[in-house]
Amino acid sequence: MKKRILGKSGLELSELGFGCMGMSFGYGPAEDKKEMISLLHSAVESGITFFDTAEVYGPFTNEELVGEALFPYRKQVVIATKFGFSLDPKGGAKWTGLDSRPEHIKQVAEASLKRLKTDVIDLFYQHRVDPDVPIEDVAGAVKDLIQQGKVKHFGLSEAGVNIIRRAHAVQPVTALQSEYSLWWREPEHEILPVLEELGIGFVPFSPLGKGFLTGKINESTTFAKDDFRNSVPRFTPENRKENQAFVDLLCKVAARKNATPAQVALAWLLAQKQWIVPIPGTTKLHRLKENMAAVDVEITSEEINEIEQASLNIKAQGDRYPESSAKLINR
């Protein structure tokens, strides 16, 4: 697999990463640990070098899984994890609020290092912007961790332009991780130009629209009772029916290229900027292989223009987060 560098940071990654959250959290019951370790090993052996996790995924169990799985390959992979939530250390509520106080950031770093079975975190993101802690203090805390050799790179997630600029002035930001896909293109308006200006890489999460852009979900699909998509307005049956237009567009292009809609969706993202590294997640080996094959799907400028023009006539129906979670974005 080809490599990409996140902005001007020098951090080199496989051009497609792996989002590990769904193995332990969010999309229904946690998957079998041995099977997930085997899948992560397959990912590394197939050329993926970038793996994304967070303490809140589980909580804690996803970091433990990633740490165990990647320990034999530690020198050849890049591991990203995140801080910023207040969690019950006994494993009760998944999160009880935001907490990016410098002392808490450093506590999270120590705990994550242990769970990940490593002596350094390659990329440490603030998971969500904390309105009660100045971003300069957050960046300063991560800067301290970098100087101590416990962290290599600083990242932000779902942060707005003002926060990005302020943080970057204290400690250079290596990457912003935010949602970006054919059905959520808001980052194109302000975020991507600022990242390009500052030399910051972009890591799109949910590059397949939380599974919708694979074409395997329709209005009659039912999710596990603890699948978070049950509470997402964009995933109501009515909105799924309306949003099928995005999948139809991808299928039209995919049919000409002997590809799947998921592969075209990922190839489209990869074609946007050379410093974009999407992190699709999966719990299935055949989906991993499908995602990885997307790097060989060449999208021509004519096809990009075709997708662009067609998507202008499609409006995504439904918010991407329930109201209770939307308040955590772009503070």
Residues labelled catalytic: 57
Those residues with Cβ within 8 angstroms of residue 73's Cβ, 6 or more apart along the chain or in another chain: 41, 44
Segment holding 50, helix H or strand E: strand 50-52
Q: Are 121 and 143 in contact (CB under 8 A)?
A: no
Q: Are 144 and 107 in contact (CB under 8 A)?
A: no
Strand partners, 227: 27
Measure the CA–CA gap between 83 and 86, rounded to whole angstroms: 9
Q: Are 279 and 52 in contact (CB under 8 A)?
A: yes
Burial class from Cβ neighbours inside 10 Å (0-12, 13-18, 19+) for residue 314 reads middle
**Rg, C-alpha atoms of the chain:** 19
Q: Are 234 and 322 in contact (CB under 8 A)?
A: no
Q: Which of 3, 2, 53 is nearest to 23 (CA)?
A: 53
| Token pair in block for residue 307 | 């997708």
